[in-house]
Amino acid sequence: GFLSYRVSRCQFNSTELKDIEYIYSQYYNKLEIYRFSSSVGKFVGYTEYGVKQAKYFNKDTAYVSSLNAQKETYCQHNIGVW
């Protein structure tokens, strides 16, 4: 069988919002296909298919903006928990 999964995570360098990075990754069979990083502000592809997907997702500015907002709503909210 095949394994497909998504991971959302936060990288903390401090409790300051400017030092937090939100990362959303898509994997297939343990290989990262593409990633969104709030520090880059867009999707980046790591395979041929991932590059196509990243290009497609980057055109959807509302989706990219919603993922950028996750840094504040998802990461900052959980500083005390993590």
Q: What is the pLDDT of residues 13-57, one digit of tens each?
A: 777 778 889 999 999 999 999 999 999 999 999 999 999 999 999
Mean local confidence (pLDDT), 51-74: 95
> What is residue 19's predicted lDDT score, i.e. its pLDDT?
86
Q: Where are the beta strands (DSSP E) in 1-82?
A: 4-12, 20-28, 31-37, 42-45
- Token look-up 């919002």 returns 17
Model pLDDT, residue 82: 57
The pLDDT value given to residue 42: 97
Is 45 in contact with 34 (CB distance < 8 Å)? Answer: yes
What is the CATH code for 4-80? 3.10.320.10
Q: Return the number of other C-beta atoms located less than 10 Å from residue 73's C-beta.
A: 11
Q: Any idea what the Cα angle at residue 63 is, between residues 66 and 18, rounded to 5°?
A: 40
What are the residue boundaries of the structural domains of the chain, listed by start?
4-80
Between residues 36 and 74, the one the model is more confident about: 36
